[in-house]
Amino acid sequence: MDAAQLSRYSIGVVIPAYRVSRHIQNVVRGLPSYISKIVIVVDASPDDTYEKVVELADPRVELLRHETNQGVGGAMQTGFRRALELDLDVIVKMDGDDQMDPSELPRLIQPLLDGTCDFAKGNRYEHVAALKSMPAIRIFGNAGLTFLVKLASGYWNLFDPANGYVAMRADLLRRVDLAKLHKRYFFESGFLIQLGIMRAVVKDIAIPARYGDEKSSLSVTRTLFGFPPKLLFGFLRRMFWRHFVYDFTAVSLYLLLGLPALLWGVIYGSIVWLEVQETHVDATAGQVMIAAMPIILGVQFLTQSFAFDIQNVPRQPLCSGPIEPRR
């Protein structure tokens, strides 16, 4: 789909801006003419990011400002609310550091307009050349984070869930409780977990990232120690709502069988082991079997639950049908 065809739709971009004064003008100038609205949320940035945007005098820009820093998620909450008020068809999230190539926007937007998915997400890992340009610490960090986010969200089909270059149908965003989105750097992962609970269809789009002289303000230590507990809570939340409240599936059954069996085997086995240590009397074959069999069955049931969860990736979009052109 070319620019003329895309201009028939109402497409907006939301940009959270913090310490990006050197890049923000290039980002805005690079957005093609078919982008009808650009919502920029300056998140109490201590530099002159706000003034740089004002200098552009771009009529498409809606410039908002936070007096206190709320993080990328807080900025996106504000930007999303304004974008929904503008009655857009598609809403794109881009960062203000010029890492996201605007020439890739048609490929990101196309499946949303066609109605084949609710949410489209960039995938940096499909291009070997892009991987070579990516800093090594980001490659290893993203690899570990990718698995954990897949586990928590249920989107096992995604190869780069930490990518912040995303687009969504406005109809989908209206169903999302924006107040529940995380206000800091867990925003992208938390958003996917919420979409997983809703069973929205998320599609990977191969889009290489651009790395220049920008510096990420995301702390490696914060990610290493802060994300896993949040992802574990997100996983438990998704399993509860998805498989026990909204539906009862094979995953539910295997979890109900597997968890008690595994816990019983571990607890009983530990008690027997402690008794053996105190009395120096070997455990009987019956005691060993009573401990071992529940553990074996529990592991098998839980493994099956994960297998069904992997097969249960959402495939039916929540938003029905293609988006009709407005002009």
**Higher confidence at residue 28 or residue 327?**
28
- Three-state DSSP state, 20: coil
Q: What is the predicted pLDDT for the residue at 212?
A: 58
Instruction: Identify which of 160-174, 178-192, 201-215, 251-265 has the greatest average pLDDT.
Output: 251-265
- Residue where the block lists tokens 């857009």: 88
Q: How confident is the model at residue 208 (pLDDT cuts 50, 70, 90)?
A: confident
Q: Which of 200, 225, 243 is the last residue of a domain?
A: 243
- Three-state DSSP state, 76: helix
Q: How confident is the model at residue 135 (pLDDT cuts 50, 70, 90)?
A: low
Asked whether residue 255 carries a pLDDT value surpassing 70, the answer given is: yes
Greatest Cα pair distance, the chain, in angstroms, is 84
Cα-Cα-Cα-Cα dihedral sign, residues 67, 73, 75, 78: negative
- Report if residue 326 sits inside a domain: no
69, 20: one domain:
yes
For the stretch 176-188, pLDDT in tens is 999 989 988 889 9
- Report if residue 124 sits inside a domain: yes
208, 290: one domain:
no
9, 153: one domain:
yes
For the stretch 42-69, pLDDT in tens is 999 999 999 999 999 999 999 999 999 9
Domain region containing 217: 3-243
Q: How confident is the model at residue 227 (pLDDT cuts 50, 70, 90)?
A: confident
Total domains in the fold of the chain: 2
Asked whether residue 140 carries a pLDDT value surpassing 90, the answer given is: no
58, 195: one domain:
yes
pTM above 0.75, yes or no: yes
Mean pLDDT calculated for residue range 289-296:
96
Q: Residue 172: give its domain's CATH number.
A: 3.90.550.10
Q: Which of 224, 243, 262 is the last residue of a domain?
A: 243
| Percent of all residues in the chain with a pLDDT value above 90, rounded to a whole number | 78
151, 19: one domain:
yes
Q: Which of 226, 243, 260 is the last residue of a domain?
A: 243
- Report if residue 116 sits inside a domain: yes
Asked whether residue 266 carries a pLDDT value surpassing 90, the answer given is: yes
How high does pLDDT run on average in the chain?
Answer: 91
Asked whether residue 224 carries a pLDDT value surpassing 90, the answer given is: no
- Report if residue 97 sits inside a domain: yes
Asked whether residue 213 carries a pLDDT value surpassing 60, the answer given is: no
- Report if residue 232 sits inside a domain: yes
Q: Which DSSP string do the residues of 152-219 spell out, in sequence order?
A: HH--TT-S-TT---EEEEHHHHTTS-GGGS-SSTTHHHHHHHHHHHHT--EEEEE------S------
Asked whether residue 210 carries a pLDDT value surpassing 60, the answer given is: yes
8, 53: one domain:
yes
Asked whether residue 128 carries a pLDDT value surpassing 70, the answer given is: no
Q: How confident is the model at residue 221 (pLDDT cuts 50, 70, 90)?
A: low
153, 223: one domain:
yes
